[in-house]
Amino acid sequence: MGVENTITAFLEADGLQDWRLVGEGACAHYRTGSLAAGIRFAEAVARLDGADRHPPAIDLRADGATVRLVTITEDHYGPGETDLALAEAISAVARDQGLEAEPEGIQTIQVSIDALDRAEVMPFWRAVLGYEPRADSPDEDLIDPRGRGAFFWFQQMDRPRPQRNRIHVDVWVPHDRAEARIEAALAAGGRMLSREFAPSWWVLADPEGNEACVCTALGRG
């Protein structure tokens, strides 16, 4: 089944009303009311047929659980044919446990950066974020290998846009990992702009001046 057909199948399937397609694939959010209820839901999902071969990503919070299904291959990042049956089975688990779907709890965050030379800019962001190129679009997308952080998309520009707001990102890391992250960013073409507030944060910039701060919890009172 092709990508377009898979998307159509998700949108038209009768048993998938809980699910929405966003940038990270198919997602459903369920109001659990407690962390304990969320854990029971996650345990039941883990026992479903196929969940061990194609594990869903489950984000548990105190009052809700977000489930994400995405098929990742060298030429595809999004909903896949095998996700259809698993999504329906997950919805059945939620119904059995009395959990209500809340589509408004679903969203995807993407940071877009204009770049005159993506090949020069992207290594800095890969290093400072600890990201990896997306397999199906390695020349323009970086993703969090842990599946938690926002997507970064690099838009190729022919010329600078005057008076365009420059992007700033804060990257919080454990205090004993900050030095290694900074060194990697500098080695990837970055520049140190300010150490004034270290060890709380350091201000860095990529080769085109887009800024990022490496932040820790130290020195914050």
Q: How far is CA 113 from CA 51, 103, 117, 129, 157, in A?
A: 35, 28, 11, 14, 10
In whole angstroms, how large is the CA radius of gyration of the chain? 20
pLDDT band at 10 (very low <50, low <70, confident <90, very high): confident
Instruction: Express each pLDDT in 37-57 by its tens digit.
Output: 999 999 999 999 989 888 899
Closest CA to 113 of 151, 144, 146: 151
Q: Which fold has domain 110-215?
A: 2,3-Dihydroxybiphenyl 1,2-Dioxygenase; domain 1 (3.10.180)
Structure tokens at 51: 């969940």
Provide the angle, in degrees to the nearest 10, between the axes of the packed helices 118-129 and 178-187.
170
Residues pairing with 123 in the sheet: none
- The domain segmentation of the chain, as residue ranges, is 3-105, 110-215
Cβ–Cβ under 8 Å, residues 121 and 129: no
* Residue 221 in this model has a pLDDT that exceeds 80: no
Flag whether pLDDT at 148 surpasses 60. Answer: yes
Q: Are 74 and 134 in contact (CB under 8 A)?
A: no
The DSSP output letter for 162 is: T
If you average pLDDT over every residue of the chain, what do you get?
A: 88
3-class state of residue 76 by DSSP = strand
Show the tokens assigned to 102. Answer: 């809340």
* Between residues 189 and 27, the one the model is more confident about: 189
Within this chain, domains 3-105 and 110-215 share the same CATH topology: no
Domain 3-105: homologous superfamily in CATH: Transcriptional coactivator/pterin dehydratase (3.30.1360.20)
pLDDT tens across 159-202, in order? 877 656 678 788 999 888 999 999 999 999 999 999 999 999 99
